[in-house]
Structure 1
Amino acid sequence: MNLFWPSETQKPNEAPDGYYTSEDLPSANKAGQFLNQNIFHSCPRILEKKFGECLHNRTHLIKDLICSGNAGLGPIEIVHMSYSNKHDKEEFGEYFYVTGVEVSSPSVPVEFLKALRSNQRISKNISNDIISTYCCFNFFSNLDIRIRYDADGTFQTMAIDCNKETTDLTMTDKMWKETFVSSVIRAIITNTNPELKPPGLLECPFYVAKDTVSTCKMIIKLLCQFLPRSLDCGWDSTKSMQSTIVNNYLMYSLRSFIAITPGLVDFTVDYLKELTKNDPIHNLYYKMAMIIVLDHTQTKELEMITVLNKTLDPLLSLLNGLPSRNSDSAQLMNCISDLLNIQARFLLNREDYELASDVSNTSTQLALDCFESWYNLAKCHIKKEEYGKALFAINSMPHLRKSDKFLDTAYSKFLASNYYKKPLNGSRPHFDLTSTEFTNLCGTLRNWKEDELKQQTFGRIAMINETKVGYIKEIWDDIAVKLGPICGPQSVNLINYVSPQEVKNIKNINLIARNTIGKQLGWFSGRIYELLMEIVNKIGWNGLLNIRTEAFMMETEFHQNSINVTDENGHIPMETRKKRFCESWLDDLFLDLYEDLKLSKISLNNKDEKHSGLEWELLGLTMLRTWHWEDAVACLRTSIVARFDPVSCQHLLNVYLKPPDNLQEVTLLDTDTTISLLVKKISYDCRYYNYCQIFNLQLLGKLCNELGMHVLRNKIVVQPSVGDEIMIMIDTMLAWIGDLRHAKQS
């Protein structure tokens, strides 16, 4: 969102009635000044159990990730602060996670650490000799860059090779550039994926250039320049079996960044064209990125398909001469397959199902382990009402991981530390410090009263927020304290965030069973679910079962017929030979889908029944999975009426941002409701230090397109819960959108 960091303070001119005219709306720089200068007052604090253990654990985590062969994004940046208690003469440490600090040199991290120190008030029993350390992982070179800032104002930089455990490397300009790009990619990917976020994370703006447009252009240029090294960035193993030119974190982040800078699409495409001329050896990387950007924007189809065909045709001519069992050949075939998948999606959207089917078939032959190829092929068969063939295609798909290997490793280390304690809707004490530890914490946060600090401490993490940027009373002082930050692998629903008693009060045990963490649909399962639901939508559940019986040899059927598998002539009957065994994961999905459909039907038949807020949420999520869109929206809205629910809110806003394909003409959520929900979500995100809200910015952008910026702002201002604190954040976001619109027009 606000990926900039200006300096001067100046309050924007507001009209007497609280409405902005087109001349009054501030630039992003001016609107964000208060925010940017005051986030240092609002950093979380995680108190170490043993002094220095967070740096020690970080080193070992990086080593484990490198040894696993997929370091992925690497660990999130941290800031560690070393203190000394004068009375006990003992050292103790605090730290927090952070993203968004520009690290192309040591200067900005040092300024960041200096600002943290200057805004901190410590008690007399704490020594002034505070040592701060900023750590940032460079995943291109597998180095952890650590910048130490001492009390006397001096600093030193170390590049630690965690695998070899050496610190004698000298930082070069190339290594600094790698580190900066690593931090940008990590910030974008982390911000768009709540599962990656640990409690105690500060997501702050980038400090790059003098204005919004310059900052965005600089980030886009850097990401594009590093495209030839995109395979070194890691990838999400829940979406692809391996890293490809399309499936890697650099390409994911470029796509996400373009989504919030639509006014710079032409700039991005022009710069990629320039790179293809200046660096012809790697022109395939730049052309692929160009196609991805154009395809993602969905506004320049003709240009996209022209570039795609010009890129694809010469590659296809190389296929016959490719050496077998060669890594370069495999990567080229993956690249061709990715291009064919984009072409197939284009044809599907144009309803040319025959040609899309041929293209998808070719793609599967080139890359048997490519999920998108099989998905598109199954989609084509469904559109052609060839449901048996669709099930065969689904059954042939590579089974992708439910959770990313990198996330499993990183989060298991965090959970083992046991630093965070959920408040569970206020049902249990969540303060977990000894008296000595709390005295130390009070000493480093002197301006906080003890009872307030205890209330804001979750386990060993003090979730203080002094500046109240984004503050709404009903959010910050109530539900945010009761639920805490909704992040990590359990953030898919509120079962693990409310009181155990509230979960026990749910009468329908099957509703709980279908919504446990173990039963959650990962990205892969969710995509398959969509295909199965599309079939159910056309021929019903019984129709799907009949097709399944015709297509697959079920385990019970196999055991029953194993004795009499041959006919009287000793031959296996043709109908048996045509059948295939159903993959166990697909079998499980059939069972899950049946349970969801059954729960949905029971709920639809008992609409007058009363439920708790959690029940409404779980019912709404079940209805979403079974495509009962209007009932799902009604359930989720009721959940929010009972208690503001960040999970329900996210799903409702996602329905507005990306309406279901089969309901494009139906308005599931009106703009006034969307605005009300979005304002509350922005507030909740700010409470737990997210000042880089990419999802929320996309929503504001869509609302601006529909209503106009000034009508939208006026609608926000008149919301009953809106005050100056939340408008600081919203004005910054609106100014971001406005600045980039002007960039497009200029």
Structure 2
Amino acid sequence: MPAPAVPEISEDVLHESIDARTESLIALRELGPPDLVHLLKQNLRNAVRQNGVYHHVTGVDASSSASLAAYINTLTYNKEHGQAATHKIVEGLYCCYNAFSRLDMRVHVTIPGTVESYCVDERGEKRKATDELWLETYLCSVLRAYSYADDGSGDTIRKIMGVRRFNPVTNTETEHRFLSSAEHLFFRGWQLGSDSVVQVPNNVSNHLTTGLLKYFHTTGRFASAINLFEKLRSQNVEVSSLLAKVLFLGNEEVQGVRVLYQALKETPMDYVMLDTQAEFLLKKAQASSTAQQKEERLKMALGCADRSTIAAPSEFGTWARLAQIYVTMEDWENALTILNSCPMFTYQDKDAPIMPEPKDVYLPTLPETRLDEIDSEPESRFSEQVDPSLLNLRAAGYRGTFKQAYAILTEMTAKIGWDQLLKIRSNVFVMEDEYRTEKQDSATLAPPAKRNPSIDGLRGTPEPPTNGDQSDIEEDGDENASEKDHADSTAPTLTNGNNGVSGVEKPEHAIDPGEVKADAIKSDPENVRRQSGPLSSHPVANEPTQSSTTDEHLSRLNNKRLCERWLDSLFMVLYEDLRVYTIWRTQMAQYRAQSMQYKKSAEEWEILGSLAERLQHLDEAVEAYRACLALRFSPKALSGVLRVFEKQKNTRETVASVIRLVTWQYRWYSEFSPELLYTIRTLIEDEGAVKVRSIIQATSLPQNVLDLTHHYAALCHTFRSSGTDG
């Protein structure tokens, strides 16, 4: 297989990309950015004239300075770049980040000449590169290759320009090196940080364990996984949760349950093991054949999940799992209550290179990736008109905890409908209008405040508030906001074009906990503690009490919680999604009734497909994605269609989609996508390698394009995946 083409980003000022990388080291928090490769080119006609070009890369063997120097050496023989006839490479610098020691490992190559290796710390000072540092760097480079790999949709590829992506583990020898380094550094993995849904990284929840599990899931090398985690479990019982996960993946469920059972007897409050148990039981319940069996498994899952929230109350994953179980049990009020209790974290995106504005960008194309439908994509994509209402859908930008919480909310909506969800919401949470009414009643019925001469002497004689009183200003502001929200809620409802049933009504605002506290302080500072107890947003602080006059007036609210501001915002975002979706389906129905064609641009169809998929209307999502693909190629739309083909076990359509996605990825310098490799592997397991290869070869596409997908099938054979020959 030929290597992907080499993109070139030209510098305006010599070495400015290296300086920018050095300056950004202090701000890195995750695994670090992709490796930077800087080349110094000399004009063959004018030796004094030099210019700097660079590109990024992942998946290159970073186990030693020699392997990185070898990569630079391969670039000197590359004849694909546009300036090959007039320039030659005289120097190269390879920069690879070590996230363990927070150092940038660098290899400087002079052509012809010597190789110098060193590392740079956060202050830009040089240090000596040792063997231990290279071991750390190698492991980080493999984890980055999986972390920065594209899932097939092209979203990751478009984030950073000019990144070559290679497969870091191509055979059993490189796998042994990877797992050996992971075993050596396993208990330092927490230093790398963790996904944005994990609050506190630990030995089994960090970027290292995430990368290991993704590797095993992709390649199916479960025997190697079990061997690794068995050895690590002997050092720390916490690793039992990881061992159980790979046993479940490898269909060794009985053994996995035994591992968790034995481990939990030693550490009964390990939240990761409890969550693993709950996840397993939830999947088993969803696959149950009888209602009684499903109910029994859900009860067991509920007990594990409830215990995990006690063990780790500040972790999002434990609360989200509990909410998912309540949704499966169709206990909607508890599901909404638990969702409201989820601790939300600010999303921390992957470290990305911050580079100065380039002088020029050269993005070559290999002949092996030529395919007419793919080559026409970039030109048509940037000339399309998009409705502003589609561009402003906030849910499309959700990441991390907010994305997962929104998915739970949309699942509830898909099952019970928007109207029913609003009713449950008003039953669970204190709504703004009833809080305002209750507060006014409380103010009317409250007895006069007790006078105390000593307090009066300190505070001054009570007087009517003046025109400039701050509390009056705040009250007026609240009333204006309430009137505005009421005006918004009178927006016209829209009929769903599919079945002509319920409209989409804008939800009322729930009362904010901060506002209740502010009102309580203004009304009576002495009773803040007593008032805040019954109205606390946390479910454990919900026991109603009537220990004061104020509590009696608020008795109707005592059985309700306060809706967190972020969840209230999610309801508004969900309303906007449903409003746009309903307009689309209504218009589609009207056009079909009149036998007219409903026209949208390809970009708009792609957004509508993503919207429908987000709202869990899969048939409508596929319809929109297909309409997008009819106008132009779109990796995101094709990935959406591929997910449906996989569920339907449609082998031929799945293979046809994978071939095009692999070609598009290779066109943009990526020879490796874990998700596409996983798809090919599962196809081979189900259908056999011979049949899958035959289907690939029978496709009426150029042979050079088919060879790219054959390369993925060959990887499965190398790893001896189930279904391969021999």
TM (norm. structure 1) is 0.75
3-state DSSP class of the match of 1:611?
Answer: coil
- Deviation, structure 1 residue 129: 6.6
Match of 2:271 in 1: 337
The answer to whether the aligner puts 1:404 opposite 2:348 as a matched pair is yes
User: Residue 202 in 1 paired to residue 155 in 2?
Assistant: no
Residue 49 in structure 1 maps to residue 12 in structure 2: yes
Task: State the shift of 1:617 in Å.
Answer: 1.6
Deviations 1:169-200 (A, max 9, x none): 33222111111001111111111464485110
Give the Å deviation of 1:672.
2.4
Alpha-carbon spacing, 1:87–1:603, altered in 2? closer, same or farther (3 Å)? same
1:612 equivalent in structure 2: 601
Larger radius of gyration: 2
The Cα of 1:284 is off from its aligned counterpart by 3.2
2:720 match: secondary structure: helix
C-alpha displacement at 1:57, in angstroms?
0.6
C-alpha contact (below 8 Å) 2:41/2:52 kept by paired residues: yes
- Segments of 5+ residues of structure 1 without an aligned counterpart are 1-33, 66-70, 317-332, 420-432, 434-459, 484-496, 660-666
**Is 2:317 aligned against 1:372?**
yes
CA distance in 2, matches of 1:587, 1:513: 18
Residues 1:732 and 2:711 aligned together = yes
Aligned residue in 2 for 1:287: 240
Kindly indicate whether residue 370 of structure 2 is the aligned counterpart of residue 471 of structure 1. yes
Structure 1 residue 341: deviation in Å?
0.7
Amino acid at match of 2:299: E
Pair 1:123–1:603, CA change in 2 (3 A): closer
Which residue of structure 2 aligns with residue 527 of structure 1?
404
The 1:740–1:565 alpha-carbon spacing in structure 2 relative to 1, beyond 3 Å, is farther
| Mapped contact 1:101–1:204 kept (Cα < 8 A) | yes
Residue 719 of structure 2 aligns with an amino acid whose one-letter code is L
Residue 598 (structure 1) aligned to one of 579, 584, 608:
579
Given the alignment of the two structures, is residue 584 of structure 1 paired with residue 584 of structure 2, yes or no?
Answer: no
Match of 2:179 among 204, 214, 220: 220
> Gaps (5+ residues) in structure 2?
286-296, 446-548, 593-597
Q: Are the counterparts in 2 of residues 159 and 171 from structure 1 also a CA contact under 8 Å?
A: yes
- Where does 1:557-568 land on structure 2 (aligned, <5 Å)? 557-565=434-442
Q: Distance in 2 between matches of 1:547 and 1:624?
A: 24
1:575-609: per-residue Cα shift (whole Å, max 9, x none)?
Answer: 31122221121112112222222333333332433
Amino acid at match of 2:30: G
Structure-2-length-normalised TM-score: 0.77
Shift of 1:744: 9.6
Q: Could you say what secondary structure the match of 1:81 adopts?
A: strand
Contact 1:79–1:96 (CA<8 Å) still a contact in 2? yes
Residue 304 of structure 2 corresponds to which residue in structure 1? 359
Could you tell me how far apart the structure 1 residues matched to 2:86 and 2:602 are? 47
* 1:227 to partner: Cα distance: 1.6
Counterpart in the other structure of 1:312: 264
Counterpart residue type for residue 538 of structure 1: K
Q: CA deviation at 1:566?
A: 7.5
Instruction: Using the TM superposition, give the Cα deviation of residue 131 of structure 1 relative to its aligned residue in structure 2, in angstroms.
Output: 0.6
Q: Equivalent residue for 1:541? A: 418
Query: Is it true that 1:89 corresponds to 2:78 in the alignment?
Result: no
- Gap change, CA 1:213 and 1:576, over 3 Å in 2: same
1:735 Cα offset (Å): 0.9
Q: Contact 1:189 / 1:252 at 8 angstroms: preserved in 2?
A: no
The residue type paired with residue 664 of structure 2 is Y
TM superposition shift of 1:523: 3.4
Report if the CA contact (8 A) 2:93-2:106 is conserved.
yes
What CA distance in whole angstroms lies between the structure 1 residues aligned with 2:214 and 2:222? 12
Partner of 1:139: 99
**Structure 1 pair 338–156 and aligned structure 2 pair: CA distance change class (3 A):** same
**How is 1:379-394 mapped onto 2 (pairs within 5 angstroms)?**
379-394=324-339
1:246/1:650 CA distance change after superposition, 3 Å: farther
Go from structure 1 to structure 2 and tell me whether the alpha carbon gap of 1:575 and 1:356 turns closer, same or farther (over 3 Å shift).
farther
Q: How does 1:491-502 map to 2 (within 5 A)?
A: 498-499=382-383, 502=385
Output the amino acid matched with 2:316: F
Q: Which deviations, in whole Å up to 9, do the C-alpha atoms of 1:345-391 show, x marking residues without a partner?
A: 12222332222222222211121111111112112222333221111
**1:418 offset after TM fit, Å?**
3.7
Partners of 1:498 and 1:171 lie apart in 2 by 46
Alpha-carbon contact 1:245-1:288 (below 8 Å) kept: no
| 2:184 alignment partner AA | Q
Q: Is the 8 A contact 1:620 1:635 kept in 2?
A: yes
Q: Structure 1 residues 110 and 118 mapped into 2: Cα distance closer, same or farther (>3 Å)?
A: same
User: Residue 58 of structure 1 contacts residue 75 of structure 1 at CA under 8 Å; is this kept in 2?
Assistant: no
Give 1:360's aligned amino acid. A
Deviation at 1:152, TM superposition (A): 1.8
Alignment CA distance shift 1:371-1:260 (3 Å): same
**Structure 2 counterpart of 1:482:** 379
Counterpart of 1:474, as a letter, is E
Q: Secondary structure at the match of 2:385?
A: helix
Equivalenced residues, count: 595
Deviation >4 Å, runs of 4+: 120-126, 566-570, 742-746
> What's the offset of the Cα at 1:89?
3.0
Cα distance in 2, alignment partners of residues 298 and 204 from structure 1: 26
Question: Counterparts of 1:89 and 1:201 in 2: how far apart (Å)?
Answer: 29
Change (3 A) 1:744 1:287: farther
Using the TM superposition, give the Cα deviation of residue 96 of structure 1 relative to its aligned residue in structure 2, in angstroms. Answer: 0.4
**Residue 140 of structure 2, aligned match among 159, 182, 185:** 182
Aligned amino acid, residue 382 of structure 2: V
Q: Which amino acid aligns with 1:151?
A: I
Q: Secondary structure at the match of 1:461?
A: strand
Answer yes or no: is the 8 Å Cα contact 2:260–2:273 preserved in 1: yes
Give the Cα separation in 1 of the matches to 2:302 and 2:350: 35
- State the Cα distance separating 1:527 from its structure 2 match: 1.9
Report deviation, 1:531.
2.0
**Partner residue of 1:161?**
121
Is the Cα contact below 8 Å between 1:235 and 1:247 reproduced in 2?
A: yes
Q: Deviations over 1:689-745 (max 9, x none)?
A: 00112111111112223332222222222322x222222321211111122236999
Task: Give the AA of the match of 2:246.
Answer: V
Q: Quote the residue 1:347 is aligned against.
A: 281
Q: 2:362 pairs with 462, 467, 474, which one?
A: 462
Q: Measured at CA, do residues 700 and 124 of structure 1 come closer, stay the same or move farther in structure 2, by a change above 3 Å?
A: closer
Deviation for aligned residue 1:656: 4.2
- Alpha-carbon distance in structure 2 between the residues aligned to 1:622 and 1:107: 48
- Cα root mean square deviation, aligned: 2.6
Are the equivalent residues in 2 in contact too, given 1:46–1:200 (CA < 8 A)? yes
The equivalent residue for 2:486 is: none
Q: Which moved more, 1:250-259 or 1:560-569?
A: 560-569
Whole-Å separation in 2 of the counterparts to 1:631 and 1:519 = 17
> Within 2, Cα distance between the matches of 1:102 and 1:597?
48
- 2:371 maps to amino acid: I
Is 1:244 the counterpart of 2:202? The answer is yes
SS in 1 for 2:57: strand
